[in-house]
Chain A
Amino acid sequence: EVQLVQSGAEVKKPGESLKISCKASGYGFNRFTTYWIGWVRQMPGKGLEWMGIISPTDSDIRYSPSFQGQVTISGDKTITTAYLQWSSLKASDTAIYYCARPMMLRGGITTIDFWGHGTLVTVSS
């Protein structure tokens, strides 16, 4: 069974750093597979936004223009885990962050067939 297990909820202060994780199981997330992992933001009461995706080989990371330079996506092939990182959080980063497994076609995303349960990040002074 495919599962994307995310790290727990976080409460941080503005200016602090944070790294959340998403561990894939039930399939391989390594250089022998072709499944990417992506991150989707959902701000309170709002819709879904793609943040970026990382390839199984970790050699290709793509960001949505809105998030380029704002976050860092990385992956650990050994333990099949993807990460989303902030160096300096802002109150506007308060949201639920979902990891997701996108299906790809010529480098573009066609659909998401599996979702993590979400990580709530609260940034408040």
Chain B
Amino acid sequence: QSALTQPPSASGSPGQSVTISCTGTSSDVGGYNYVSWYQQYPGEAPKLMIYEVSKRPSGVPDRFSGSKSGNTASLTVSGLQAEDEADYYCSSYGGSNDLGVFGGGTKLTVL
């Protein structure tokens, strides 16, 4: 199963909004509403930010939102803050008995 496609980098100024895309196929992103997004700071473990396309775990700021259209999912970070500078990875459910697949990751820079 191929990795999901993410842009290698994204950037925005404080206060702005940035959207990161995650493109898969009809066998993963397009076929199910189980896309997740993870935030990873250098030297730290990933942290779940969005699950089931658009749901936020407790404690995740509502500046983070997720959506999906066809085979492409998106993570939007509104009101960018310096602390949002990190790597972001998407993942998708790939069906029964499938371990799923991750995206290649996007480095978000706050200018």
Chain A positions near chain B (C-beta within 8 angstroms): 38, 47-50, 52-53, 62, 64, 98, 103, 105-118
Q: Which of B46-73 contact A (CB under 8 A)?
A: 46-48, 51-52, 57
Chain B contacts of A115 at CB under 8 A? 45-47
**B-side interface mostly:** loop
- Counting CB contacts under 8 A, is B79 at the interface? no
Bound complex: CA A38 to CA B46 (Å): 14
Count A/B pairs, Cβ under 8 Å. Answer: 74
Determine if B48 and A113 form an interchain contact, defined as CB atoms under 8 angstroms apart.
yes
A-B contact pairs, 13 of them (CB 8 A): A47-B104, A48-B105, A52-B99, A62-B97, A103-B51, A105-B93, A106-B97, A108-B97, A109-B99, A112-B38, A113-B51, A113-B57, A115-B47
Bound complex: CA A13 to CA B107 (Å): 32
Chain A contacts of B89 at CB under 8 A? 47-48
Chain A nearest Cβ from B40, distance in angstroms: 8
Q: Given A48-B91, A62-B99, 7 other A-B contacts at CB below 8 A?
A: A48-B105, A62-B97, A98-B46, A108-B97, A108-B98, A108-B100, A112-B36
